[in-house]
Chain A
Amino acid sequence: MSESKIAKLHEMLVSKEISCKELTKQYIDAIEKDNEALNAYVTATPETALETAGKVDEKIAKGENIGLLEGIPMTLKDNISTDGIKTTCCSKILEDYVPIYDATVWNILKNQNAVLLGKTNMDEFAMGSSCETSYFGGAKNPHNVNHVAGGSSGGVASAVGGNLAVYGLGSDTGGSIRQPASFCGIVGLKPTYGAVSRYGLIAYASSFDQIGPITTSVEDTAIVFDAVSQYDEKDSTSQGRKGEPVTATLKNDIKGMKIGIAREYLDGVRDDVKEAIDKAAAVYQSLGAEIVYFDLPALKYALPVYYILACAEASSNLGRYDGIRYGYKADSYFDVNDMIKKTRSNGFGDEVKKRILLGTYVLSSGYYDAYYKKAQNLRGTIVNAFQNAFNVCDVILAPTVPMTAFENGHAVSDPIETYLTDICTVPVNIAGLPGVSVPCGYNSKGMPIGMQLIGNTFGEAKILNAAWQYENAADIFKPTDFGVQL
């Protein structure tokens, strides 16, 4: 079964079974060996990792207490700003961009001596579901490298699933943590909007973006979430975690918990996935939870609402990449407007350009009311629909993705079908709710299937509690052969 790697490694470090430097070296070597196949990392930082590891070893040698995350090798998606370390968003336009400040989440973890192994691959500016829009090529699935790791946080999922990091932080705008976690057979949490500071996360769609953990177990997700869910005065939309640490209630009994299943979530879902969800429901019943079926018709608006609003925000957020202050700049140009035009034309990939164009269009005068405004109103409708749902159940059980990981190249060849696969993940971002993806089975080809537990706002404790109980009872997790075998 999937146990807490963080707790296990912490124990090993404290008992001096392994030094932090040795542990870190194992991961650095594994990245050296396996990253070629997985393409999970776009920047490796072995020197700073070993330096931090050295500090932790000194503390242990002096007999000082160390925190749970201290000395644990980890990674960050390459859209989380790291002072002095390249942060590229996997875009040509930021290929050599080195931030001069730390994102709040990294600041928190750095202060706890987290060992950063490097920055991981992603769809360009987090726009994509396969990691293949990355300027550096997509990350591969550690269960089968002919399949994608998913996206956009494909690199984190590939690294964690491929044992090239103990845990990682990704970002989720429309499913970008949960979908790759599902594809790679691991756990990924998209927290409530506002639970984790966005300061330093390079924005895609500001009212949807949230940073969250990707790990191999529910307990590790809970540990990392507790660490990073702090109020941050630098982010006006930040509120921090509400209530006690989620680890405190993680293993509570779930007898009598009402688990809701909305029929609309199962429409168009592949049979193997549906079957896995049904089995999960049965596991919950065996644990004493009650399964409640209900309708969520507002779900049919989710995809258009998401793509209109997210692209609108993106078109504004990405306006700043003009070649003037940082990042890529066109080589030759005849005036400033020409420079900006050429910089953006050459610097952005097709998927990003497509979303900027779409977003600019829906905000334009004459179209604003028909698209942006209507989508905003429908966003309200979806929020209300979820509020009503939580009157009849405690958590919602749904597939994370209607299918398993695409084969390499498939998402790019059929972009519309790929957009449609976001159907199960985007509603959570639209409504600002927390959602966690947990492995719940494998298809006939051995590719992982993920299920999603959705909670009410700031209901992380409840969904992680339900997730842990399921993980403990169903024992689904299968480690891959890549990377560090503990």
Chain B
Amino acid sequence: MKYEMVAGFETHVELATNTKIFCSCTTQFGGEPNTHCCPVCIGLPGTLPKLNKKVVEYAIKAGLATNCEIAEISKMDRKNYCYPDLPKAYQISQFDMPLCEHGYVELSNGRKIRLTRIHIEEDAGKLVHSRGNTLVDYNRGGVPLIEIVSEPDIRTIDEAREYVEKLQLIMRYIGVSDCKMQEGSMRCDVNISVRPVGSETLGTRTEIKNMNSINFIAKAMEYEFNRQVDLIESGEKVVQETLRYDDVTNTTSSMRGKEDANDYRYFRDPDLVTINVPRERVEEIKATLPELPAAKLKRYVEELGLPEADAQLLTKYRRIAEYYEEAIQGTKNPKTAANFIIGQIFRHVENEAEKEAFNINVSAENLNALIKLIDSGKIRMNLAKSTLDKMLETGKKPSELLSESDMAGLDENTLNDLCRQAVKSNPNAVNDYKNGKEKAIKSLVGFVMKNSRGKADALTAESKIKELIK
């Protein structure tokens, strides 16, 4: 029998606000343990939370960017459980009235992964185990999170990968999170079950907790899929349980079973007032959203005529897309700038972080100037390429790197003279060509290029030389 995977995601994304969700402590990653704390975020007796408005705004942005409906009225609830990294013994979260509901993320195969909800909540601290002791660092406690819950709509590992990447891309684009999985600012829980292909009923699911790399997610899902199929094929049953994934052994192991599930005793947090989201506010926030990556991609392909692969590379990071759009302002061929960026410039930004930051020597304005020199016929492509290399080295403007004669272009007479000179001073090459060695023409063209300092158009030069020696 063939089986298919049924998976849903719960994705925690740390919001990039400057301050925590209920106090004014910094959200900065790192820092000496327990230095980004105050009486409120360590839950000292008598302290009260005060909801950071920016958190609500960011969550609404995330909701709008993933096609969610935004609630008019929302509230905060307490999720009660006891753990040393949770200083109040409850997490302030949202239970039955989340800020955002009923959204979706569309995959490249056209399938829509439905989002059940997006809600806001506070992060917990961190346990640090050292020399047989367990210490608690509350720096992360109270950092704002959104939890994005999907329906069990994912069917393959490729879809899972793309879903997580898409979420990452969208959140980074709208500026609500850096989604750095290795720093824990994006973490995924995956609910997974299997069923015979064609079946409509859901199998018993397991939940793999807290994974912070797309590769681990893929490996864990693959392992868990096979494990569940094996169980069913050998006549056993999948047990509903919570699992942890071990990336060293590439296996999952049980954290707790269904019967040990926590009873969180949710109830409305009486310390916080109702969150009212007037429709005008939603419209205001909507107006601040940038063009989203999916729309950008479509526009690059359909309006700018870029190949889809190029469009994908350019839209994967918001700063690169913005850079590209500035570079093509008022230029004739959008493909030229795309080629420069994907070719020469990308060699200078090799990893993800560098692409994300996109700090390069050449400003979009300078690249734009270079392309305009090509457009106006003042310089040829090969000169432009070597100039771009120099720009990448020095950060200088094209006008500082090119002389007046470089940019003066090449008139017809000079070109004709150079072609005649090429024929005259290379009799061997001329003979070779005449004797059928087609390639010999290249060295004659090379002569023209060299002596015109790259300004000649190679194709025109070639046809002129052929004419001369015919």
Cα–Cα, bound, A205→B271 (Å)? 10
Q: Give per-residue flags for B49-62: 1 if the beta carbon is below 8 A from chain A beta carbons, else 0.
A: 11100000000000
Cα–Cα, bound, A89→B44 (Å)? 13
Chain B residues within 8 Å of A326, by CB? 44-45
Chain B residue, CB-CB nearest to A201: B46
Kindly provide the distance from the CB of B50 to the nearest chain A CB, expressed in whole angstroms. Answer: 6
Chain A residues within 8 Å of B46, by CB? 79-81, 87, 99, 103, 199-203
Choose among B39, B45, B51 the residue that contacts A202 (Cβ–Cβ < 8 A).
Answer: B45
Q: Does B285 contact A (CB under 8 A)?
A: no
Q: Does A340 contact B (CB under 8 A)?
A: yes
Interchain CB contact under 8 A, A236 and B272: yes
Kindly provide the distance from the CB of A435 to the nearest chain B CB, expressed in whole angstroms. Answer: 20
State which residues 134-151 of B face A: CB under 8 Å: 134, 136
Q: Does B43 contact A (CB under 8 A)?
A: yes
Known contacts A236-B272, A312-B267, A336-B84; A200/B47 CB under 8 A: yes
Q: Does A365 contact B (CB under 8 A)?
A: yes
Chain A residues within 8 Å of B44, by CB? 81, 99-101, 325-326
Cα–Cα, bound, A101→B136 (Å)? 22
Q: Does A16 contact B (CB under 8 A)?
A: no
Chain A residues within 8 Å of B42, by CB? 325
Chain A residue, CB-CB nearest to B136: A324
Chain A residues within 8 Å of B82, by CB? 319, 322, 340
Q: Give per-residue flags for A218-242: 1 if the beta carbon is below 8 A from chain B beta carbons, else 0.
A: 0000000000000001111100000
Cα–Cα, bound, A330→B127 (Å)? 21
State which residues 33-75 of B face A: CB under 8 Å: 39, 42-51
Chain B residues within 8 Å of A80, by CB? 46
Kindly provide the distance from the CB of B452 to the nearest chain A CB, expressed in whole angstroms. Answer: 73
Cα–Cα, bound, A206→B272 (Å)? 10
Interface-side segment among B85-93, B236-244, B409-417: B85-93
Chain B residues within 8 Å of A169, by CB? none
Kindly provide the distance from the CB of B311 to the nearest chain A CB, expressed in whole angstroms. Answer: 46
Interchain CB contact under 8 A, B267 and A372: yes
Interchain CB contact under 8 A, B273 and A320: no
Q: Does B303 contact A (CB under 8 A)?
A: no
Chain B residue, CB-CB nearest to A208: B270
Cα–Cα, bound, A97→B266 (Å)? 29
Q: Give per-residue flags for B105-137: 1 if the beta carbon is below 8 A from chain A beta carbons, else 0.
A: 000000000000000000000000000001010
Kindly provide the distance from the CB of B239 to the nearest chain A CB, expressed in whole angstroms. Answer: 21
Interchain CB contact under 8 A, B49 and A236: yes
Chain B residues within 8 Å of A20, by CB? none
Chosen A-B contacts, 23 in total, with CB atoms closer than 8 Å, are: A80-B46, A87-B45, A99-B44, A99-B46, A199-B47, A235-B271, A236-B48, A312-B267, A313-B267, A313-B270, A315-B265, A316-B78, A319-B89, A319-B90, A324-B87, A325-B44, A326-B44, A336-B134, A340-B82, A364-B265, A365-B263, A365-B265, A372-B267
Q: Give per-residue flags for A92-105: 1 if the beta carbon is below 8 A from chain B beta carbons, else 0.
A: 00100101110100
Choose among B39, B49, B90 the residue that contacts A101 (Cβ–Cβ < 8 A).
Answer: B39
Interchain CB contact under 8 A, B39 and A235: no
Q: Does B80 contact A (CB under 8 A)?
A: yes
Interface residues of A (CB under 8 A from B): 79-81, 87, 89, 94, 97, 99-101, 103, 198-203, 205-207, 233-237, 312-313, 315-316, 319-320, 322, 324-326, 336, 340, 360, 363-365, 368, 372
Choose among B39, B267, B273 the residue that contacts A237 (Cβ–Cβ < 8 A).
Answer: B273
Chain B residue, CB-CB nearest to A313: B270
Chain B residues within 8 Å of A97, by CB? 45
Kindly provide the distance from the CB of B54 to the nearest chain A CB, expressed in whole angstroms. Answer: 16
Most buried by A among B43, B46, B50, B266: B46
Kindly provide the distance from the CB of B49 to the nearest chain A CB, expressed in whole angstroms. Answer: 7
Kindly provide the distance from the CB of A333 to the nearest chain B CB, expressed in whole angstroms. Answer: 13
Interface residues of B (CB under 8 A from A): 39, 42-51, 78, 80, 82, 84, 87-90, 134, 136, 263, 265-267, 270-273
Chain A residues within 8 Å of B50, by CB? 233-236
Kindly provide the distance from the CB of B245 to the nearest chain A CB, expressed in whole angstroms. Answer: 24
Interchain CB contact under 8 A, A325 and B87: yes
Chain A residues within 8 Å of B266, by CB? 363
Chain A residues within 8 Å of B270, by CB? 205-207, 237, 313
Chain A residue, CB-CB nearest to B50: A236
Kindly provide the distance from the CB of B22 to the nearest chain A CB, expressed in whole angstroms. Answer: 9
Cα–Cα, bound, A319→B266 (Å)? 14
Kindly provide the distance from the CB of A253 to the nearest chain B CB, expressed in whole angstroms. Answer: 38
Kindly provide the distance from the CB of A126 to the nearest chain B CB, expressed in whole angstroms. Answer: 12
Chain B residues within 8 Å of A312, by CB? 267
- Known pairs A202-B45, A326-B45, A372-B267. 5 more at Cβ < 8 A? A81-B45, A101-B47, A199-B46, A207-B270, A363-B80
User: What are the nearest 9 A-B pairs in CB distance?
Assistant: A319-B89, A207-B270, A363-B265, A206-B270, A202-B45, A200-B46, A81-B46, A202-B46, A101-B39
Cα–Cα, bound, A360→B51 (Å)? 26
Cα–Cα, bound, A360→B263 (Å)? 10
Interchain CB contact under 8 A, A364 and B263: yes
Interchain CB contact under 8 A, A199 and B48: yes
Choose among A233, A313, A315, A320 the residue that contacts B87 (Cβ–Cβ < 8 A).
Answer: A320
Kindly provide the distance from the CB of A356 to the nearest chain B CB, expressed in whole angstroms. Answer: 11
Cα–Cα, bound, A326→B136 (Å)? 13
Kindly provide the distance from the CB of A271 to the nearest chain B CB, expressed in whole angstroms. Answer: 39
Most buried by A among B134, B263, B267: B267
Cα–Cα, bound, A220→B88 (Å)? 37
Chain A residues within 8 Å of B267, by CB? 312-313, 316, 363, 372
Choose among A94, A237, A372 the residue that contacts B45 (Cβ–Cβ < 8 A).
Answer: A94
Cα–Cα, bound, A233→B273 (Å)? 13
Most buried by B among A101, A203, A319: A319
Cα–Cα, bound, A219→B415 (Å)? 105
Choose among A100, A324, A365 the residue that contacts B39 (Cβ–Cβ < 8 A).
Answer: A100
Kindly provide the distance from the CB of A361 to the nearest chain B CB, expressed in whole angstroms. Answer: 10
Known contacts A313-B270, A336-B134, A364-B265; A99/B48 CB under 8 A: no
Chain B residue, CB-CB nearest to A326: B44
